[in-house]
Structure 1
Amino acid sequence: MPNKDTEALPDLQFEREQLLEEQVIASFDGAPDDRTRYLLQSLVHHLHGFVREVRLTSREWDTAIMFLTEVGHITTDWRQEFILLSDVLGISMQTIGVNSPSSASTTEATVFGPFFVSDAPLIELGGDIGEGGKGEPCWVSGSVRGPDGTPVRNARIEVWEADDDGMYDVQRDGGQTYGRAHLFSDDAGEYRFWGLTPTPYPIPHDGPVGRLLEMVDRSPYRASHLHFMVTAEDYRPLVTHIFVDGDPYLATDSVFGVKESLVKTFVHHPAGTPTPDGREIPTSWSEVRFDIVLASLA
């Protein structure tokens, strides 16, 4: 139901609501840190503005509190429901956009996601991150360069992805690691590894965030993607994905992570086709190139 016309409120009601907002904002005046004070006062201003604009009912607010409580209860060491909520509301992508100024010369950033693991194993160039995961092998190669084209040597490249079932290793029992690793670019800024051809999968939707999507008839599916996090001295850290051209969920990615510049062509090869590194693969396989351009810190 649309909100009631706030302009039709009696003057006394409007003044009381305005006064409460001002009192709450003023309560943070003594915060010793300027940034903290600014963040809290701006938050109060926008939250009160929302409540007043939509004329939020007590029942609706109680429902929201219970929803957030459920989000907290389902969150674990490996499942961060609050990140999922941030993702499906587009807040994660908006925050990334604010902190990653657009540049035509550098690789665009996108969402971090809830399944990163900081202690992923090290692999050599040309190694395999997909061992133990279900899916079609995929040869991934590319370069890491600065905005002026300078090769970035020894850049740390973290990669992680789901398997053909749409599951990350941390979602499975047994503690097996697959679909994730880190490696370093060579002296020419080049990198290469074997992974799995990305496939679409739903974000975890058996909890409150999933019910929210169902209630508003939104799909929980993410477009097929492979995660990257790249760090190097003198350059801004980059968190990004690449997406599969032709994927049916590119336009409806549940976390708004797709950017046109990150959609790449995955070339598929039949079984028996020679691979770039001479590896013998008894099944079909794919390959993709992703050249990364980092933004300078200066």
Structure 2
Amino acid sequence: MNTRRHFIRHLAATGAFFVVPGAFAEALTQTPAVGFGPFYPDHLPLDTDNDLILINDSLTPAVGAITYVSGRILGPTGEPIRNAIVEIWEADTNGIYIHSHSGGDKAKQDKNFQGYGRFLTGSSGEYLFRTIKPVAYTGRCPHIHYAVKVPGRDKWTTELHIKDDPKNASDGVTRNVKNPELLCAEFAPIPGAKAGELSAKHDIVLGFTPET
């Protein structure tokens, strides 16, 4: 379950992952930038692939609502960005990050949750992760952190929130962000999924065109 080919085949079969090349002609609204936050991993896990549910060859999955998060990295006019490194990191179901100084009770940390992953985009700018539906913790709405690295630029960071979550409006980090709705996506059940998996599609529009 942790190979890029399997993931893309799975999402294509469910209709949750798709690419529409050439769909944009005018400038798009940039996805709002949000800072790194204090819990970007201070020590990367040994396993950094795009499956955050299973660590290496473990057979024990992380606790949480399994979610396939997909989308595209796009330039200002909708052009797909190839070879962008997309990183995500988030807290486990108890609100604990893999950062050594994360808040919460470390004794309750889900040791089966990878907590961080990365993906290299293809020619259509697509990315894909298998992770858990994010949870809220003190002062924050449920969210997944993103960092996007393209040639000639520093890492650019943003977040993904759950559409219509009641904690979004009062979130301590993003309540003053312009166009906060562009941080949100619906976490919807995948039709026919026997284990109740969810999918969320989140395209990220950069405010610049990467160097080639």
TM-score over 0.5 (shorter chain): yes
Alpha-carbon distance in structure 1 between the residues aligned to 2:206 and 2:155: 8
Question: How many pairs does the alignment contain?
Answer: 166
Alignment of 1:122-133 (within 5 A): 122-123=48-49, 127-131=50-54, 132-133=61-62
Matched, 1:268 2:189: yes
C-alpha contact 1:112 1:239 (8 A) present in aligned 2:
yes
C-alpha contact 1:157 1:230 (8 A) present in aligned 2:
yes
Regions of 4+ moved over 6 Å:
none
Which of 163, 166, 189 is the aligned partner of 2:95? Answer: 166
Greater length-normalized contact order (CA 8 Å, ≥ 6 residues apart): 2
Alpha-carbon distance in structure 2 between the residues aligned to 1:235 and 1:187: 19
Alignment of 1:249-288 (within 5 A): 249-256=167-174, 259-269=180-190, 273-274=192-193, 283-288=195-200
Alpha-carbon distance in structure 2 between the residues aligned to 1:115 and 1:150: 31
TM-score by length of 1: 0.50
Q: How far did 1:292 drift?
A: 1.2
Partner of 1:225: 143
Identity %: 31
C-alpha contact 1:130 1:180 (8 A) present in aligned 2:
no
- The residue type paired with residue 186 of structure 1 is G
Structure whose residues are more often strand by fraction: 2
Which of 123, 126, 131 is the aligned partner of 1:195? Answer: 131
Alignment of 1:180-219 (within 5 A): 180-202=116-138
- The residue type paired with residue 48 of structure 2 is L
Alpha-carbon distance in structure 1 between the residues aligned to 2:170 and 2:199: 25
Partner of 1:105: 29
TM-score by length of 2: 0.68
Q: How far did 1:235 drift?
A: 5.2
Q: What secondary structure, in the 3-state scheme, does the structure 1 residue paired with 2:144 have?
A: strand
Cα deviation code 1:251-276 (max 9, x no counterpart): 11123356221121111248xx24xx
Matched, 1:117 2:46: no
Alpha-carbon distance in structure 1 between the residues aligned to 2:151 and 2:29: 19
- The residue type paired with residue 137 of structure 2 is Y
Structure 2: 5+ residue stretches without partners:
1-26, 55-60
In 2 relative to 1, CA 142–256 (structure 1 residues): closer, same or farther, beyond 3 Å? Answer: closer
Structure 1: 5+ residue stretches without partners:
1-102, 203-220, 275-281
In 2 relative to 1, CA 234–295 (structure 1 residues): closer, same or farther, beyond 3 Å? Answer: farther
Alignment of 1:1-298 (within 5 A): 105-117=29-41, 119-120=44-45, 121-123=47-49, 127-131=50-54, 132-170=61-99, 171=102, 172=106, 176=111, 178-202=114-138, 221-234=139-152, 237-256=155-174, 259-269=180-190, 273-274=192-193, 283-296=195-208
Alpha-carbon distance in structure 2 between the residues aligned to 1:286 and 1:159: 17
Q: How far did 1:117 drift?
A: 1.6
Larger Rg belongs to: 1
In 2 relative to 1, CA 256–175 (structure 1 residues): closer, same or farther, beyond 3 Å? Answer: closer
Alpha-carbon distance in structure 1 between the residues aligned to 2:28 and 2:154: 15
Cα deviation code 1:38-59 (max 9, x no counterpart): xxxxxxxxxxxxxxxxxxxxxx
Q: What secondary structure, in the 3-state scheme, does the structure 2 residue paired with 1:201 have?
A: coil
Alpha-carbon distance in structure 1 between the residues aligned to 2:172 and 2:30: 25
Q: How far did 1:286 drift?
A: 1.0
Q: What secondary structure, in the 3-state scheme, does the structure 1 residue paired with 2:182 have?
A: helix
Q: What secondary structure, in the 3-state scheme, does the structure 2 residue paired with 1:222 have?
A: coil
Structure whose residues are more often helix by fraction: 1
